[in-house]
Structures are given as C-alpha cells and as structure tokens.
Amino acid sequence: MNYHCPKCQGVIYNRRNKRCGFCGAELPAELLFTAAEIAALDEQEAMAKELHRLEQAKRDAEEVARRASAE
C-alpha cells in the first residue's frame, strides 16, 4: 500500500517520521506507525542484525578453518 502526504501528495517513504520528507507538513497519525508497530519493527531489525552477525561469524570461522587446513 502506498501512503501519500495529504498536502503535497508525495509518497511517504518513512512512516516513523512525523513530517513529510518532501514538503515538511505534519502527517496525520493514521498515516504513521503506532508505537507498538515501531517497537515490533525495532525488534525485527535487531533480530535480523543478530542473525546476520551470527552468520558472518560462522563464515569467518569456516574461512579460518579452511585456511588452517590448507597450510
């Protein structure tokens, strides 16, 4: 679903911001994420970052083991 600023019709690209990124108008609450939605998004982002960190650590360990066995 696309959300647009009621003043300039610009696309709302970040529903966390209370102001339109194009014209600076204050956005109505119904176009913004709720506090609960923001908390859920923050949690999902933190989980994704942790998963990425763990995957990178695993790849790094595999690379170290591969190099050690090649010596």
pTM of the model: 0.73
Q: Which pLDDT tens digit goes with each residue over 56-68?
A: 999 999 999 999 9
Q: Which pLDDT tens digit goes with each residue over 11-26?
A: 999 999 999 999 999 9
Q: Which pLDDT tens digit goes with each residue over 40-60?
A: 999 999 999 999 999 999 999
Verify that 28 and 38 share a domain, yes or no: no
Residue 30 has pLDDT above 90, yes or no: yes
Please give the tally of structural domains in the chain.
2
Verify that 26 and 48 share a domain, yes or no: no
Tell me the C-alpha distance between 49 and 63, whole Å: 21
Verify that 1 and 28 share a domain, yes or no: yes
Q: What DSSP string describes 24-51?
A: -PBPPGGGSPPHHHHHHHHHHHHHHHHH
Domain that holds residue 23: 1-32
In one letter, which amino acid is 48?
A
Verify that 16 and 44 share a domain, yes or no: no
In one letter, which amino acid is 13?
Y
Verify that 23 and 41 share a domain, yes or no: no
Verify that 28 and 44 share a domain, yes or no: no
